[in-house]
Amino acid sequence: MLPDQLRFEGRILFLCEDSEAIDRQLDGVDLSLEEVRPLRDQISTDEITPAWICYHYDEKLGDFPYLGLKCGDRFPLQEGRVRAGGFGISVAGKRRGKGSSREASPYAEMAAGIRLVIAESFERIYRQNCQNLGLLTSTDFGLIARIRAGEAIPLKEFTAGLDPITADIVHRGGLFAFNAARLKGEANVPSPATKSRPMTLAEKILARHAVVDAAKGQLGLEAVAPGAGLFVRADWRFSHEYVTAMAASFLHQALGPAVELRDPASILAFRDHLTFLHHTMSEERKASGLLDVARRLKTVQEDFCATHGIRLHGELPERAGGGEGSEGICHSIMAERYAEPGQVVVGTDSHTPHAGALGCLAFGVGTTDIANAWITGDVRVTVPPTLRVRLNGRLRPGVAAKDLVLHLLALPFIREGQAIGHVVEYQGEAIAGLRTDERATLTNMAAEIGGFTGLVAPDAETQAFIRERRGVELALEDWMRGDEHAEYAHTLDVDCGTLGPMLARPGDPGNGMALADLREEVPIHIAYLGSCTGGKREDLERAYEVVAAARQTGIRIPAGVRFFVQCGSEDVRKHAEAQGWLAAFEAVGATVLGSSCGACINAGPGVSSSKDQVTISAINRNFPGRSGPGLVWLASPATVAASALAGRICVAFTSTPTTPVHG
C-alpha cells in the first residue's frame, strides 16, 4: 500500500518543443515551466519507446525512454540519459501516450527512475497502464512548485475523481497487488448500483458481462452508466509476441511459473509483428545482438503457449514467391474467425477495436491487464461515455472508409482530445453502405481518435460476413443495439456526400487534408498496401481495380519506386490469389509479401531507409520513425495504388462504390 502522504525525489524533466531546452536539462540545468513552454503535445508511445526498444521486456528498458521524441527537427534524447539525469517527474502537454498500447513505455519511464508523470491530458490505455504499474499520473501542474518546495502530496490527490476500483489499484501500488488482495477476498470490489436506464450498445454489453460475484461466476447487472468501475468477463483474451513475453514475465514473477490460467481455450496468441524483421534490421543492430533479443520474444511466447495450452497463430515457413510470414495479424484473424456480436474481446494492442465492426466490444489493454486477465478471466473497466458519429448520406464513388476516418481525425474536436476514452459508435446511412471490412477500418482507427473502442451495431451485413468467412449462420438478438433514448456524451454529424479522397501529412494521423488541396507535386519512393487497416479483402480489391485499369494501358511501377503489397492474413492472401489480384499486382512490378504487420511496425519490407525518402501508406499511423526514418503520408488503398503507379501522390483514376455485395 502506498502511504497517505507522498514525497517525490528527483529532478523534473519537461518534454518540450525546444530541443535545446531538453539538452540543458540533460546537462543538469533545472528549468521552470515558463522557460520551457511550449510543451510537446501528442507524444506517442512510438516516441516514448520506439518499436525496436520493445524487443526488451525487463529493467533494460530504463535505458531507453523518449529516444523517439522529436523536438523540432531533432531527437535530443540518447540512451541512458534520463536514468543518469536523476529525473523523478516527467511533464508534457496534451494527449500524452497516444498511439500503441505498449506498456513498455510507462515501464521504461519507471525503470529510468520516473515516479510521476504530469500532462494536460492522457490517452486512456497509457494512463491505465501507468495505474497498473504503480506509476502515478496527474493533470495538476500546480504540483510542480509544491514538489520542488519539498511538500508532501496527499495520495488522495492522485485518486480524486477515479472510480473506487481504480482508486484502490492506485492506493495498492498496481493491479497485481490489487488482484492478489481481490483473490484473497481482502479488496473491496463494489458493484455499481445503477438504476434501470436506456443504454447504448456498449453499455449493454458491459452490463451483461459485469462480474457480480467472481467466486460464484455470477455475471450481469441491470444497468451501468459512464464513470462506474467494474470488472467484465472477456469472451476472448489475446496477445502478440511484443507483449506475451513481458506479460508472462510479470505473471511468473508475481505468482510463480506453475500458475494456472483461467479457461485457456478462450486465450489466443499471435506471432504477427516481427516475422520479417531480419530483412530490414540494420547490420549494425544485428551485430549488437538486437536481432537475437527480438527472436527471444518468439521463443518465450512459444514456450508459454505450450506450457499453458494456448493456441498460437504462429510464423509460417519460407515459401517461393511470397516469402515467409505469419498466419495473420491478430486483429484480422479475430474479425475473420473469432469475434461475434455482443461479446467482449480484449487484446494487447491499441487496434483491438478492429473487431468492433462486428458489433462486439473489443478494446486494447496493457501487459499487466492481460497477465491478470489470464488468471481471473476478466478485466477492469471504467464505463466510458459514448461519442455518436452519424454518417449521413452515402460516400461518393472512390471515397473509402480510410478517407472518412482521416477526415474525422482532422476535426478540431478530435485533434484536441475531446474523444479520449470514449466509445466511438458509428451510425447512419453511410454505415449501411459499407461492408464489414470497411467498417473495420473505422473501428480500428478509433485508436487514432483516442477512443476506448469503435463500434458498429450488428446487422444483416454482419451476418453475411460471418456466413461468408466462417460458414456459420449467426442469429442476432434484439438487445444488440442502443436504446432509443440512450444518452450520448457528444454527437458528430458528417455529410459523407461532400467528402473526397484524403491524406494525412507526415508526423501524425491527425494531419489530415483533402487530396484535392495538395498543390505541390510529391514524388514518392515507397508505396505500401498492408497492415490490419489496409490489408483486408476489400482494401486489396480497391487497389486491384486501380492496377487492373493501369495494366490495360501498359502502365507499370516507375523506376525508383517500390510498391509492397502485404495481406492482413493468410485467409485474405488465399482469396486474393484466387481472384487474380496478387498476380495483377506483380504484373505491374509490385512485391507481394507474406502476411504480417511488417512495415507498419518498422519491422519489414516497405520501411524507409533514409530521412529523404517519402512513403505513401495504407497503415493507420505515421508518427516519426513509425515506418522508418523517412516521411510517411497516409491514404486509402486506392490512392496508394494510384500513387505507386504514378510515382507521386495522386488520386485514383478508377474506382467503384463501396456497396455491400452480400444483399
478/309 Cα distance (integer angstroms): 36
For residue 282 the three cell numbers come to 540494420
| pLDDT for the residue 531 | 95
480-495 pLDDT tens trace? 999 999 999 999 999 9
Name, in order, each residue with C-beta under 8 angstroms of 96's C-beta and a sequence gap of 6 or more: 43, 117, 119, 120, 121, 122, 123, 126
Residue that is written with C-alpha cell 467472481 in the block: 214
Per-residue pLDDT tens digits for 197-228: 999 999 999 999 999 988 888 999 999 999 99
Cα atoms in the 13 Å half-sphere on the side-chain side of 285: 15
- Is the pLDDT at 654 greater than 70? The verdict is no
Q: Supply the pLDDT for residue 216.
A: 84
Q: Determine the average pLDDT of the residues in 426-434.
A: 96
Q: What is the pLDDT of residues 252-262, one digit of tens each?
A: 888 888 899 99
Place 319 in a pLDDT band, splitting at 50, 70 and 90.
low
pLDDT of residue 189: 86
Span 361-376, pLDDT tens digits: 999 999 999 999 999 9
Residue 549's Cβ-count burial label (10 Å; 0-12, 13-18, 19+) is middle
Sequence-separated (6 or more) residues with CB below 8 Å from residue 29: none
* Calpha distance 36→23 (Å, rounded): 11
pLDDT of residue 190: 83
For residue 266 the three cell numbers come to 478462450
Of 21-25, 57-61, 500-504, 561-565, the one with minimum mean pLDDT is 57-61
For residue 662, pLDDT beyond 50:
no
Q: CA nearest 438: which of 618, 296, 585?
A: 618
CA distances from 280 to 167, 389, 598, 601 (A): 44, 39, 9, 11
Q: How confident is the model at residue 653 (pLDDT cuts 50, 70, 90)?
A: low
Check residues 659 and 517 and name the one with the higher pLDDT: 517
pLDDT over threshold 70, residue 661 = no
Condensed to tens digits (0 to 9), the pLDDT of residues 586-618 reads 999 999 999 999 899 999 999 999 999 999 999
Residue 242's contacts (CB-CB under 8 Å, 6 or more residues apart) are: 54, 102, 273, 274, 297, 348
**Which stretch of DSSP H or E encloses residue 245?**
helix 241-255
| Residue 31: pLDDT over 50 | yes
In 328-416, DSSP assigns E strands to 344-347, 361-364, 378-382, 386-392
Kindly list the structural domains of the chain, giving each domain's residue range(s) and its CATH number in brackets, ordered by start: 5-159 (3.20.19.10), 191-232 (no CATH), 236-341 (no CATH), 382-501 (3.30.499.10), 503-646 (3.30.499.10)
Grid coordinates standing for 426?
A: 458509428
Confidence of residue 658 (pLDDT cuts 50, 70, 90): very low
Cα–Cα dist 354/651, whole Å: 26
Least confident of 149-158, 307-316, 320-329, 597-606: 320-329
CA–CA dist 97, 364 (Å, integer): 14
pLDDT at position 660 over 90: no
* Whole-structure pTM value: 0.91
What CA–CA distances, in Å, run from 408 to 291, 491, 513? 38, 12, 11
pLDDT over 60 (residue 663): no
